[in-house]
Structure formats: C-alpha cells, structure tokens
Structure 1
Amino acid sequence: MKKITTSDISNYLGISRNTVSKALNNHPDISDETKQKIIDQAIKMGYKNIKLPPAVLPETDTSRTKSIAFITKRDVGIETFWMNVMSGVEELISGNRYEMKLSFIKNEDIDSLLIPQILTSGIDGFIVAGSVNKTYNEKLMSVSLPKVFIDIHSDFSFSELNSDIVMMESEGSIYQITRRLIQEGHRDIGFIGDLSIRSYMERWLGFIRAHYETGLMINPDYCITSNDPRNYQYYEDVAERLGALKQFPSAFVCANDVTAIIVIRYFRNAGMSIPSDIAVSGFDSIKEIEFLDFSLTTVINDEFRLGLRAAEQLLTRMREPNRLPEIIRLPTKVLFGESTTRPAPAKL
C-alpha cells in the first residue's frame, strides 16, 4: 500500500501542504477547528506521524479497546483472495486505532440462523465478507451495529437494502471476455458458476449480454450453474458435473479462477489441451494461477483495495449512522491470456 503523505492529505482536503504540516505539528497559527479537520482526515487515510497532545485528538473511550469484527465463512476464509481482503481491512482500521477480530461462520450456524457470538461482545462494527444465504444475510443485517457487506446474496434487491455493500465490477468484465471469444470464432460457449452470489450473478448477466448483442443463442446444456455458494470450488464437484455433459463447448467462462483451475485440471486429466481443444477463462487473478504453465485469461481486481474500501466505508458509517445505504463498486480490468488466445476450429 502507498505510504500516505501530507501532500495526499492536502490534495484531498484542498488545503495547502504547509497548513496540513502545521496542523499535524500543533502549530499555534492554525485554528483548533482546522486542526481537528486535518487530524480526522489524516487518521482516516492512515497517516502514521501525528504528533499532537491528546486534547487535540478525536475523543476515544479508554475503558476498552476499540474493535471491528471481520466475519467470513469457514470454507472461504483461508483463500488467498480473502486473506488479501483482510489485510486491506486491517491496514486501515489499525491506522485508526481499532483492532480487527476475525470470526468464522460455520455452515451449521447458517442453517440454525445463529449469529456469531462476537457480535454480542461489545465490538464497534463489523464487516461480512462473502455471500451466505439470503435468510442469514437478513439476520446479520438486523444486528443493530454499523456494518458493511462485501458482496451479497443475489436475491437481494438493491432498493431494499439497509446496509452498505462494497463489490468489484463484474458484468462488464465477463461481457468483454465472452464477446472476445465470440469474435474469435467460438459459437458454443459454456458458463460455470454459482448464481447465489450477487457478483457471480452479474458475471452470468455479462455472459448473457454478450450473446444477446451478437445474436448468438446460449446452449443451456453447456452451462453449469447452481444456487449453492458451496458448489464449484472443489474438484470432485466440478468433475462430476463436467462428466455428465454429453458433449463439450469450445470454451468455458468460469465465475472465478478457482473454478477455472479445476476445469483446466479436469480436461488435462482427460488428455485435452488448453486452449487448443478448449478455451478457459477465470476471474480474480489469484496467486495460484502463477503455477499454470500458460497465462490464464482472467479479471484483475485489487482485493487489498476492496478490504481497504470496506473498512473506510464502515468507519464512515460509524461516524454517520443515519446516512443512506450505499452500493460501492470498484473497477476491474480484463487480462487476456494464452488460455483463450486461439480461435475455435471452424465447424464443417
């Protein structure tokens, strides 16, 4: 993460760098009101070198340590993607004098609608990372604490939300990948992904839009989807579904890199070559794709920045609890790799 400087604070507030520097060093020329404004922004941005008397710093409750809970499902919490998200959260909240407490949700807790015990232990707010089922999402939303969700269940209507949501852009990126595949001659393209997660549903919509705009029909026999977030993250599950297909498309667009890697492994085990026999794309640009012996077509997003932005939104919500809920999307970028570079063979 870039180190925050007085110039960054100056540019954000539209105040001269000299004024910012004086305020952060408690210079008598700067009014208390201006000092407080600059200090608050410096802390929010994670500036480390604030050397001021305690009287000028934001009031804190010294009777206990301020803390924020990071809540995720047990089966996704250890993935590289979410580890990077957690690092982004921790970076910002520690700079604002909070500690992060990690809590894993068990599948049995979801089924029983039991909220994590940490939410009753005096924390100041919480972040929910990754989608769970709609009913459990609603249960977490009903907790009377400042909260931010990173992604959400696909059945939620944004017009009905009462919490802040932070997401990566998804639809446009998958649209670009699918459109490129079609332009390169692919006519039979499959999609693999769970549709219970909002971001994955939007990736499916991007897949549909590319077909619609090019006048190409989607063959449902090539698409492997479900409404269970636990699907398509394990080899056995994906292999079973692929093995049930009567024939394969010339390309698969996968909802994430984990699924794409599994698909590649399956076809290699079957003696097929990527992309000569079948093209495969993913999403997330996770570290694990570096172990492939070719570059994967994927979508680059900054999961560290995702965590950083979620933490920033939570701190804002804690300061302004009555502001309207916001839906925040961070930009992504398609990276076309060797896994989809060869056009599909012409059909006779």
Structure 2
Amino acid sequence: MPKKITTNDISLSLGLSRNTVSKALNDHPSITAETKRKVVEQAIALGYKKLKPSDDGHPAEPVPAAKSIAYITKQQLHHGTGFWMNVISGVEQIISSNGYEMKISFIKNEDIDSLALPAVLTNNDLAGFIVAGSMDRAYTEKLIELPLPKAFININPDLSLAGLKADVVFMENEDSMHQITRHLLQAGHTDIGFIGDISSCRSFMERWFGFQRAHFDAGLAVDPAFCVTSPSSDGYQLYDSLSRALQGMNELPAAFVCVNDKIALHVIKFAHEAGKAVPRDLSVSGFDQIDEAEFLGFTLTTVAVDERQLGQRAAEQLLRRISQPESVHETIRLSTTVVFGESTPPHAAAISEVNRLSVSTDPWLQEQERRSRPTVGRSTGT
C-alpha cells in the first residue's frame, strides 16, 4: 500500500516549516506567490491528496511564479553622484538574469512621514523587494512587517541588527575609517574633526565608531567642537548646510574625516574660499571614491567601494531569501580598500624617512647634520 503523503513530507522535501507549507496550501496571504507555487508543485509531484480544489472543482493548478521584484529608494538619493545608479545597475543585472522584471519606486519624504507604502508593493506578481538607502525607523519597521521576501542596502541606525527579521547588505565601514583616522594621528594631527549625519544611516554611524576607536587606541579624546554629527535635513550633502556648520566653529581643526566624498569635496571648497589650501593647511578624507573627486587637481584620500557589486550582492541575497524563506537572516559586509591620496599627509614614519634620505644625498645637508652631532671625547681646553 503506497504511503500517504503529508504536509510533513512536503516540508522536509523543500526545507520549509510545516506551518509555512500548511499556509501555502491554504493560500494564506502571508506567504509569497513564489513559495505557494513551489509548495503546490511539490505537493502535486509527491501525490498529496488534499490540495484545495479550484472553483471549477478540479485539483488546484500550481500558482504562477511571481515575475517582478521592486527596488525601493528615496528620491533624493539619486541626485548628485552616480553611486546609487551603479547600485541599481548591479541589482538589475542579477534580477534580469534570473528572469525577473525590476520595478523601481522612488519614495518621497511626505510618504515616509505619513507611512504611505508605494503601490508597487501591493502587486500580486511581486516576488520580493530591495530597499536601497536608509529610511526612518517607523517606515523601515513597516517595510519589515510586510509578508514578502526583502533585502536592505543599509538601514536606519536605531534598529538593532540582533533579531532583525530582514537581510541587510553593507560595505565595510568601521575598520576603513579607523585606518584613515589612525593615519592622520600618526602623521602628527591631534585636532581632527568628523563630519556626517550619524543618525541618518547605519553606515555613517559605523564610520563614526571607527573614528572614535582610533582616538581611543591612541589615548586621545575626540573634541566635539571639531565634529559635525547632528541630524540634518539633507545630511550635509548640500554645500550651504555644511558651510553654515563650518562657519559656526570658532576654529577649524588640522584635519577632517568625512563620511563620504561628496562632503569631503564641500569641505575642500569651503577651505579654498577661506583662503586655506589642502593639504597644506587642512587635511581631508572621504569615502566611496566617486568620479567627481578626479577633478580636484590632487588625489583624495578615500575608501574604494564597488557599488555595482553592492547591488549584485543585495539582489543575490533576495533571491536566496525567496527560495529559502525559512533560512536565518543575515547581515553582510563587503570588503573595502583604503586609498591614501595627496589630501592627507604621509605617516610620520614616512616623513622621517624622506628627511633622512634628503640629508644623506645633499652635501650641504650632510655637513649640517655632521656638525649637529655631539662630539664624544673632545678636549675642553682647561
């Protein structure tokens, strides 16, 4: 006598919980169309006898596969630099190569304030969605509550990553900023400022942590008078708001560590208008290695990231979530590379080496260096 197929058999064959299988077979709205399709197809293949019949009395047909994925982002993120356009390109490459159509939805500030979700998230053919860029806590929590597979690229810093019911993809932040700050401290700078709205996203908050940790390791305190970290409506991405913040300082520090290259470019512009030169009078570093920095006339110390790969990885993670809805949620950080440029001085050790080489190759400097040495055993002529 053939074995009777149960929901437990279906759940074991798919790696899903019995609860998920049961809900899928009963067309529960909390289960995605893609998961329902897989469960019904497997149930038919195994010979499960309790499939919910269709309206005409015949056995239910497999649920059609959802064929679109939504890309949700804030409207203002796509003004200014090509960073987020490269992220979109990376997402689209993975999405399209797996047979999905990408639907982009730009969220306005008023939508966030009123907790109004985009219409695209109600489409029946939606398999899941990607949220690019941090949004405020309440809106993010509402997105997380939606019964759809989801992946975030960055996230609000007020949300704990522990127990978060969503996958999040970042670039590495803290160690890169720690390395840049340590570089400046080793070069002899003790007055270093930090610029960035650390309340706006988790990445900026982690870069602030790296800045602080470098000071702690060096036994130095961060001077808040030199730091611009308070909330800003534009995140200091506009020159006017950053200029006002810098004008409010009694004096500028010897160096600024900025959360991204766009802010670093604003700082360099402000310094130029104040009659200061970078790096002679002020050292500046950024993050992201954007194309606009190529026109400075000198190289900018920054952090090289692959934003296209960031989009690809987020899309890959979403596809994994669609196929394995019960798997543990993940926080993913992609590696970065610190690129030291001419906008910050070399390490103190490197300066000493340059000075030593200069003395050893210039005859006049050699003579001056010889005369400056203490003479041992010379008679005092008593």
On whether the aligned pair clears a TM of 0.5, the verdict is yes
1:194-205 matched pairs, under 5 angstroms:
194-196=197-199, 197-205=201-209
In 1, the alpha carbon distance for the partners of 2:83 and 2:196 equals: 17
Unaligned runs of 5+ in 2: 1-61, 349-382
Equivalent position amino acid for 2:334 in 1? L
Distance 1:229 1:89, change over 3 A: farther
Cα distance 1:107–1:85, how it changes in 2: closer, same or farther (>3 A)? same
Query: For residue 287 of structure 1, what is the aligned residue in structure 2?
Result: 291
Question: Within the alignment, does 1:71 sit opposite 2:72 as a pair?
Answer: yes
2:44 alignment partner in structure 1 = none
TM normalised by structure 2 equals 0.72
Can you list the C-alpha shifts for 1:71-101, whole angstroms capped at 9, x where unaligned? Answer: 1100002431100000000111111011111
CA distance in 2, matches of 1:97, 1:163: 23
Does the alignment pair 1:166 with 2:169?
Answer: yes
Picking from 149, 152, 160, the partner of 1:149 is 152
- Where does 1:27-106 land on structure 2 (aligned, <5 Å)? 61=64, 66-78=67-79, 79-106=81-108
Say whether the 8 Å CA contact 2:183–2:347 is kept in structure 1. no
Aligned position for 2:229: 225
Larger radius of gyration: 2
Correspondence 1:115 to 2:127: no
The one-letter code matched in structure 1 to 2:174 is E
1:126 to 129, 135, 139: 129
* CA distance, structure 1, for counterparts of residue 288 and residue 279 of structure 2: 19
In structure 1, give the amino acid aligned to 2:240.
E
Distance 1:269 1:343 in 2: 28
CA distance in 2, matches of 1:257, 1:233: 10
RMSD over aligned Cα, in angstroms?
Answer: 1.7
Q: Contact between 1:131 and 1:229, CA under 8 Å: does it hold in 2?
A: no
What's the % identity of the aligned pairs? 54
Matched, 1:140 2:140: no
Aligned AA for 1:312?
Answer: E
Work out whether residues 195 and 228 of structure 1, in 8 Å CA contact, stay in contact via their aligned partners in 2. no
Q: Give me the whole-angstrom Cα distance separating, in 2, the residues matched to 1:339 and 1:81.
A: 21
What is the CA deviation profile of residues 228-284 of structure 1, one whole-angstrom value per residue up to 9, with x for unaligned ones? 463210000000000000011000000011111111111111111000000000000
Matched residues in 2 for 1:120 and 1:228: separation? 32
d(CA) in 2 for partners of 1:264, 1:193: 15
Aligned residue identity for 2:148: L
Distance 1:228 1:241, change over 3 A: closer
- Equivalent of residue 240 in structure 1, options 229, 239, 244: 244
The answer to whether the 8 Å contact 1:77/1:104 transfers is no
Runs of 4+ aligned residues of structure 1 deviating over 6 Å after TM superposition are: none
Shift of 1:226: 1.8
Deviation at 1:342, TM superposition (A): 5.6
Please state whether the residue corresponding to 2:162 is helix, strand or coil.
helix
User: What is the SS of the residue equivalent to 1:115?
Assistant: coil
